[in-house]
Amino acid sequence: MPKAPTGKNTSGRGTRDLRVRVKTAKGRKLSSTLWLERQLNDPYVVRARKEGYRGRAAYKIMELDDKFHFLVPGARVVDLGCAPGGWCQVAVARVNALGEKGGKKVGTVLGVDLQDVSAIAGAEIHQLDFLSDGADELVKGWLGGKADVVMSDMAAASSGHQGTDHLRIIALCEAAAEFAFDVLEEGGTFVAKVLAGGAETELQATLKRNFAKVANVKPPASRADSSEKFVVATGFRGRRDLPADDDDG
């Protein structure tokens, strides 16, 4: 039985075993066999199973937080598209949502997703479309105020076409950013997954207007053959939209 997640990054502790080979079973495609073999030999998948996390993505948010330090005790965190829950598990431990760190502030972790998500100790999970009308007010009500961190590991359903998938995830990230503008405290942090591909220029410009610093990072837990990266925007300034164009007419 895996131990309870601690939120600690245990990289380099000898999690890689001898490589597992998978034979192609009758009726199973070669691509499925290769995916299964990759999963069985992925050190982060092995670690997640041993350490009690719901997926390898937990290590991505650990590595990002190790670098930028936004999941601090007492922080109020919103995880958009939180299924299966690995990011929430990490956040619970790091913001002290269970109050297990004596003398430290107790934080709040709120996860929302379109689908039902199994309960996570220390996190409050809601089935909600964050794009629906009034979702921001619902979230602020559940939090009892504004958030210190809005994070998103969401990805749109794959179409199989790289250019289309890039545009879809950028649109999703832009929507998450707009949501963050409505629920973040000044000084807050926005973290989201994007796919490299060239269409993120407008998103970057919007974030730079609204945050003190914007960084683009590919954490070690992100597979080398993946085009994903993460944008980490810190120091929310409050919404700063472009001024309306002057009407010379």
Task: Give the residue numbers annotated as catalytic, written as ranges.
Answer: 193
In the structure encoding, which two tokens stand for residue 23, read together? Answer: 């034979």
In the structure encoding, which two tokens stand for residue 103, read together? Answer: 């003398």
Binding site annotation covers 133?
Answer: no
Q: What one-letter code names the amino acid at 30?
A: L
Binding site annotation covers 81?
Answer: no
Binding site annotation covers 35?
Answer: no
CA distance 200 to 170: 6
In contact, 75 and 151? CB cutoff 8 Å? no
Residue written as token pair 């895996």: 2
In the structure encoding, which two tokens stand for residue 150, read together? Answer: 């809005």
Count of positions (residues) in the chain = 249
Binding site annotation covers 182?
Answer: no
Burial profile 57-91: b = 16 or more Cβ within 10 angstroms, e = fewer: bbbbbbbbbeebebbeeebbbbbbbbbbbbbbbbb
Binding site annotation covers 225?
Answer: no
Binding site for S-adenosyl-L-methionine, by residue number, is 85, 87, 113, 129, 153
